[in-house]
Amino acid sequence: MAAAATVAWLPAVFVLFVAQVACEYGMVRVVSESGGPKGKDYCILYNPQWAHLPHDLSKASLLKLQDWTASMLCSPSDLPAKGFSNQIPLVTRGNCTFYEKVRLAQGSGARGLLIVSKETLVPPGGNKTQYEEIGIPVALLSHKDMLDIFKSFGRAVRAALYAPNEPLLDYNMVIIFIMAVGTVALGGYWAGSRDVRKRYMKHKRDDGPEKQEDEAVDVTPVMTCVFVVMCCSMLVLLYYFYDHLVYVIIGIFCLASSTGLYSCLSPLVQRLPFGRCRVRDNNLPYFHKRPQVRMLLLALFCVVVSIVWGIFRNEDQWAWILQDALGIAFCLYMLKTIRLPTFKACTLLLLVLFIYDVFFVFITPFLTKSGNSIMVEVATGPTDSATHEKLPMVLKVPRLNASPLALCDRPFSLLGFGDILVPGLLVAYCHRFDIQVQSSRIYFVACTIAYGIGLLVTFMALALMQRGQPALLYLVPCTLTTSGALALWRRELGMFWTGSGFAKDLPQPSWAPASAEGPQLPKGSETAPPQQPPGEAQVKPALPAEQPPALTEPKDMAAAPGPRPCFQLAWLLHTPRTTNIPILQVQPSCFPGWSLGGTSEKAGSVTFAS
């Protein structure tokens, strides 16, 4: 119901966007009159409804730039005695409307007007009558750029105003697309395979802490609600207290990304043929488990990489590569650790975050004084931030086109981690279900392709609307609709919705020697009355259809009085289901004076010792 209401609001939102003041980015080319340093471009924000700017620099007039920033240009007394004939005056923003300033400038012979602003650049607006009266371009220039102009070129400068064409999409979108789809596919495949493997088999040996995988966390509806409330609260707090909280987020990212990098690289490092020696016995935290030296070196490497990024995070030339690598590792770690148990849980999480994303991108501009989206403002960093820090929870790639407008707009294209993790959890669930029903990964492949299509639609919307887009607006319908339609077509929607058929983790029996032939009994042991060992009652997991029971026994066996059999045939469930191995459970009480000497996972490898 909430999703439908949000969709119903979208047409009104788009109409309101159209009604806003039109604005475009342009450039001012500044050169010295004395022929000093080479010319330089600076960004301006102009309203084409006043007057259009030429797209080609060669067609723009190079005019004298007159510094008149000591005046607000709000009354005729602010005009110079000789006027602004064939000049572009620089005036200070404030005290009157844009129309009053540009009307006075045009009346005194100016060919354009640059208004210097110390605040955030806003489009110079007016009404239809004023637009028809004015015939010269008016634009806003930042105060920082004005200072740089006079510092670099002196006071005697000339300027030309123009608005070069910019490609709809930058080539960096291709890189972001590959990174995002690759992360979702790899993370979903890894998470699904790991989860199914842990459901059906247990490790029989403990080779140290590096062999023990982190347990996955099942997302419940309560956790979903708490998570969304926390996201909303954190986003609002960042909007109002950005300069204080941004360093907290940076610290959390350093810690989480180093953990994720360790989790991704540890399977590769464990294959190396060296560094297997362990630390000596000690009582130190973590080190008392005697980890291998190579794993300690890996942990040190991951921490160093995270620290290096933290120190040089504002180096735009190369730090983005390190941030993207750490971000991908963090996303893979989260996809492996967090698990959605049912398609119902997937639908709930994705729809709630869908509404969250749309609200904070499209609705909040009408609730803030600046008229900016809270989501975009926080993701890109407020323009009035004293720290000029950026949140690291995004994949970012610098603009690759050669357009001078790269100076105006953000020099990086961004994709938030949430736009990877949220659909990635659904992809991981699809992979687990694929293995369960042995469907040749059709759900996994279809959902991954749907994610890629949704991302392409997001890029198209970004190019057409020229403003930040809530990616989940396009990703959620694509992935949810594709997965649900595929399950409906295969007549598996019931199982897919509830996740029925997934076996619970098998309990690890303290004694369960696997033997196909059975051990030779010592003389006299046949008459020994069997006793029920403590803690023997087995937990029966819910098993898929057409699958032999895993370590099961008759329903009334545990409760039936009297002696229990010394041998009982059971099944050891492996993955895939076609590799179930019959084993023979043995009652230790049938062998008084004998102890279990060794076991193996393979049938027929049990030994006894008296």
pLDDT one-digit tens code per residue, 54-89: 888 878 888 888 888 887 888 888 788 788 888 888
Residues 6+ apart with CB under 8 A from 514: 572, 581, 583, 584, 599, 600, 601, 602, 603, 604, 605, 606
Amino acid at position 145, single letter:
D
Residue 572 per-residue DSSP state: E
pLDDT at res. 573? 46
pLDDT at res. 24? 75
pLDDT at res. 197? 63
Task: List the Cα angle 262/328/344 in 5-degree steps.
Answer: 105
Encode 143-169: b = buried (16+ Cβ within 10 Å), e = exposed: eebbeebbeebeeebbbbbbbbebeee
pLDDT at res. 350? 93
Task: Render pLDDT for 265-297 as a digit per residue (tens, 0 to 9).
Answer: 998 888 888 767 777 776 767 666 777 888 888
Residues forming beta bridges with residue 218, ordered by sequence position:
339
Task: List the Cα angle 313/267/434 in 5-degree steps.
Answer: 105
Phi, then psi, of 590 in degrees rounded to 5: -75, -10
Residues in the chain: 610
pLDDT at res. 288? 64
d(CA 456, CA 469): 12
Q: Give me 407's structure tokens.
A: 């100076």
Residues forming beta bridges with residue 161, ordered by sequence position:
28
pLDDT at res. 152? 84
User: What is residue 75's three-state secondary structure?
Assistant: coil
Q: What amino acid positions are annotated as catalytic residues?
A: 357, 419
Low-confidence ranges of the chain (pLDDT < 50): 1-22, 203-212, 503-561, 569, 571-580, 595-610
Judge whether 27 and 46 are in contact, CB under 8 Å.
no
Task: Render pLDDT for 381-411 as a digit per residue (tens, 0 to 9).
Answer: 776 778 888 889 899 888 877 666 666 766 7
pLDDT at res. 585? 57
Q: Residue 67 is inside which H or E element, if any?
A: strand 63-67
